[in-house]
Amino acid sequence: MNILLFLATLIVSVVAVRIGAVAFNLTGLEWKVAKFQALSCFTGTGFTTRESELILASPRRRRIATYLIVIGHAGFVAMIATFANSIRPNLVLTRLDLPFLSSFVPPQLLPLINLLIIVGAVYTLVRFVPHTAAARKVTILAKKKLVGKKIVPPEKFEEIFVAPGGFGVSRVDIEPSSPVLDKTLAEADLRKHGITVLVIERGLSTIANPPADTRIRAGDVLLCFGKLAAMKDEIYALSGEREETEENAYGQ
């Protein structure tokens, strides 16, 4: 049964990483960055990348990262224990009581068969499962539960790039309640807050390096550059949304 426990632990770990990635994405991280950082936290590796600054700068993301790290360590210990037992001779496949197994599989080959099963399962989960309909369903369900229960309320902006020194690029949706609605970029005077609008996405059109007389409309998507930590509060005001406190964000 150890090999079944190992595979079950592996599947649970993959699901946990996917849920963590959804949670990070809801806090405003771009999806590819969210997936990598969730995997980094869960496995305890690769977390020294530049994008990790996006995690450390946010109390909400730090809490998600903490949960992933704790769950990841527990899962890692469980996988090591079940893996070690899975490759011991005469332990796993014989316990499954498969008919006539002993008649055509020598006992000394059982650890090798178990190892091949484990390698095949890991490769399948890493290479193919993330692109399946089941993975998409898990993502949709996780997002629905996290948002529906107000565990991780979705952000109105998305941090898609971080540069040295804490600077980066954020994506912000303009709501009908935005205080800069129907104002030009010059009238909004975003530069005084350290925000530079690089691109405005308007429907199917894109306005790159928009001039100062460009008027901001409801439904516009702005790509803004600036100091991420300082820009966050201004982006909430820009979008027309109020930032949740850490306690409100987690329903505490």
- Domain spans of the chain, in order of start: 2-148, 157-249
pLDDT, residue 200, reads 94
CA distances 149 to 83, 143, 154, 181, Å, are: 36, 10, 12, 31
Report the side by side order of strands in the sheet with 157-162: 157-162, 167-173, 221-227, 196-202, 205-208
Token code pair at residue 214 = 């460009």
Architecture of domain 157-249: 2-Layer Sandwich (3.30)
Q: Using the structure block, give the residue that is written with the tokens 């975003």.
A: 190
Count CB-CB contacts under 10 A for residue 131.
9
* Alpha helix (H) residue ranges in 98-200: 101-104, 110-127, 133-148, 185-188
CA distances 224 to 173, 201, 232, Å, are: 11, 11, 11
Q: What is the pTM of this model?
A: 0.62
pLDDT, residue 48, reads 57
Block means of pLDDT (10 residues each) for the chain, length 252 residues? 74 91 88 88 74 75 90 80 63 45 61 75 79 88 89 74 78 82 88 88 91 91 83 63 42 33
